[in-house]
Homo-oligomer: A and B are copies of this chain.
């Protein structure tokens, strides 16, 4: 009599079958109002808080929550306005649908590496334990082991890249990169550095000229930039994390390698803002001595006059959410528009002779 009541004990106390108690909570229309009231009264009196979620999920194969996977560690994700805005969009839809959102910490994965069984186990630990009806992956590499786990578990997945197939909400990253590149080219820039985030622990470093960034979106944007600037080579810098700090430090790496760089293209506003800061503290005038561009168009970007590419992040989140939660939303791939926003951090290239 002292243990937590189960649906069976409540049923017995109310003089009905367990199935009827279940219906009282989940299908009110299936039983008479009087019986339902009696059952809920009895449940209240016994301190029964409703059907056990895990038992319910096991039998019904539904959990009422959707999973969220970020390319970067959760610890950074919440500092990143892009991520929080995306989450806000997802939350808009989830709230309406009555779904919970499960955030899973993800380990970093570098495509070229192979893992021992135990390393891989650790990498997918959170995903394996996650009870979700579907999942959203932002920026995650298509070959990340956790996506395989989700696939094996038949968890519906939507992503923000169309690499590797599957449902997706994307922007035209390559096109946006090209727009940035063309903008810079038209201003006379020839020596351009591209700063990409990744899951590096470490300090920013200049990569070989043919480097392919870790994350799909960064890869695509770089492709576009390269295309627009051909035949000039683009210097590629792996900044490590997607933080202003990494942006600042990337400036060191760039200038150490080539002090005559006239423009820096960053894969995100967050990085770009760090770049701006570092340049200014060296007495370099953004938009005059060195041009800088970002990506996302965060509120802060407007404040700082950052030339960037606008993407509808919150709408992206909403669309991702709807793809999972709204059965009538059947699109396989949604393309959202981007727009080049030219502000004051880009200008004509200084003439070095």
Give residues in A with beta carbon < 8 Å to B: 4, 37, 40, 47-58, 63-65, 73-75, 77-79, 84-85, 87-88, 91-92, 94-95, 98-105, 117, 125-126, 128-131, 149, 152-154
Task: Give chain B residues whose Cβ lies under 8 Å from the Cβ of A56.
Answer: 129
**Nearest-Cβ distance from residue A324 to partner chain B, whole angstroms:** 15
Task: Give chain B residues whose Cβ lies under 8 Å from the Cβ of A102.
Answer: 65, 100-103
**Nearest-Cβ distance from residue A243 to partner chain B, whole angstroms:** 12
Task: Give chain B residues whose Cβ lies under 8 Å from the Cβ of A47.
Answer: 152
Task: Give chain B residues whose Cβ lies under 8 Å from the Cβ of A65.
Answer: 102, 129-131
Task: Give chain B residues whose Cβ lies under 8 Å from the Cβ of A149.
Answer: 49-50
**Nearest-Cβ distance from residue A136 to partner chain B, whole angstroms:** 13
Question: Can you name the residue of chain B whose Cβ is closest to the Cβ of A92?
Answer: B75
Task: Please list 12 pairs of residues, one from A and one from B, whose beta carbons are closer than 8 Å in the complex, sorted by A's number.
Answer: A51-B128, A53-B131, A57-B57, A58-B58, A63-B129, A63-B131, A64-B126, A75-B95, A79-B85, A99-B105, A99-B126, A101-B103
Q: A58-B55, A129-B53, A152-B47 are in contact. Are A91 and B103 (CB under 8 A)?
A: yes
Q: A50-B149, A100-B102 are in contact. Are A91 and B74 (CB under 8 A)?
A: yes
Question: Can you name the residue of chain B whose Cβ is closest to the Cβ of A121?
Answer: B25
Contact pick for A48, options B75, B78, B98, B152, CB 8 Å = B152
Do the beta carbons of B129 and A100 come within 8 Å of each other?
Answer: yes
Question: Can you name the residue of chain B whose Cβ is closest to the Cβ of A50?
Answer: B128
Q: Report the copy number of this chain in the oligomer.
A: 2
**Nearest-Cβ distance from residue A70 to partner chain B, whole angstroms:** 10
- Per the bound structure, the CA–CA distance linking A106 and B104 in Å amounts to 20
**Nearest-Cβ distance from residue A151 to partner chain B, whole angstroms:** 8
Q: A100-B130, A105-B98 are in contact. Are A75 and B88 (CB under 8 A)?
A: yes
Question: Can you name the residue of chain B whose Cβ is closest to the Cβ of A105?
Answer: B95
Contact pick for A74, options B48, B74, B95, B153, CB 8 Å = B95
**Nearest-Cβ distance from residue A91 to partner chain B, whole angstroms:** 4
**Nearest-Cβ distance from residue A265 to partner chain B, whole angstroms:** 26
Task: Give chain B residues whose Cβ lies under 8 Å from the Cβ of A129.
Answer: 53, 56, 63-65, 100
Ranked 10 nearest A-B pairs via Cβ: A49-B152, A78-B88, A74-B91, A95-B105, A64-B129, A54-B57, A101-B103, A53-B131, A54-B58, A50-B128
Task: Give chain B residues whose Cβ lies under 8 Å from the Cβ of A64.
Answer: 126, 129-130
Question: Can you name the residue of chain B whose Cβ is closest to the Cβ of A155?
Answer: B49
**Nearest-Cβ distance from residue A108 to partner chain B, whole angstroms:** 12
User: A58-B58, A74-B88 known; 13 other A-B pairs, CB under 8 Å?
Assistant: A48-B152, A50-B128, A64-B126, A65-B130, A73-B95, A74-B91, A78-B85, A79-B84, A79-B85, A84-B84, A100-B103, A100-B130, A103-B103
